[in-house]
Amino acid sequence: MVDILFYIFAAVAIGSALGVVMSRNPVGSLLFMVATLASLAGIFVLLEAHFLAAVQVIVYAGAIMVLFLFVIMLLNLGHDYQKDLKWGAFSVLSFIVVGTLAGFLARALGAGSTGDVMSSAGGRSIDAAVSEFGAVGAIARPLFTTYVVPFEITGILLLVAIVGALVLAKRNV
């Protein structure tokens, strides 16, 4: 059951990822992207990362994608069917590079794939933490103890990003 779900999600993810790349309409690309993110969220759930799955849907598919959509609408690119996919030497070269990259990655990740490791030590520790503190507590505990400094710095980063985005996008600085 879980495996079947995984393959369904995976198929949707790959398919919509290709849609993102191939779609002529920017809005279409965006919607394909939302589909990809949603199916990835499903896979996260299958991988027992419930909190991240929720964040994926809320922050990524929700907030960030809406931001993209706003920009597309703002710039009035919704009907921009300008052909930006041109077949030529460059595209062929790109495909060769990407194909080789895929080959390399498949070889690197496929090597040493002996059986399923879902129930290894790391997985068991996560499961134990989730059963003890809940899905949020399991990730929040290390985040606010061990990784508190990076966490706070991330907050500053976001603040800087907000200011930067404002400064850049504002008409008259």
Please report, as residue ranges, which positions from 101 to 160 form the binding site for another protein (by CB under 8 A).
Answer: 101-102, 104-110, 113, 116-118, 120-123, 125-126, 129, 138-139, 142-143, 147, 150, 154, 157-158, 160
How distant, in Å, are the alpha carbons of 70, 151, 165 from that of 168?
16, 25, 5
Considering only residues 8, 136, 148, 162, which one is a binding residue for another protein as defined by CB under 8 A?
Answer: 162
Pairwise CA distance, residues 137 & 139, whole Å? 5
8 Å CB contact between 113 and 61 = no
Q: Identify residues 41-70 at the interface with another protein (CB under 8 A).
A: 43-44, 46-49, 51-52, 55-56, 59-60, 63-64, 67-68
For another protein, which is the closer residue by CB, 102 or 134? 102
* Torsion sign, CA atoms 83, 76, 165, 61: negative
| Number of residues this chain uses to bind another protein (CB under 8 A) | 90
* CB of 169 vs another protein, minimal distance in Å: 4
Considering only residues 1, 89, 149, 168, which one is a binding residue for another protein as defined by CB under 8 A?
Answer: 168
Pairwise CA distance, residues 165 & 128, whole Å? 41
Pairwise CA distance, residues 118 & 63, whole Å? 31
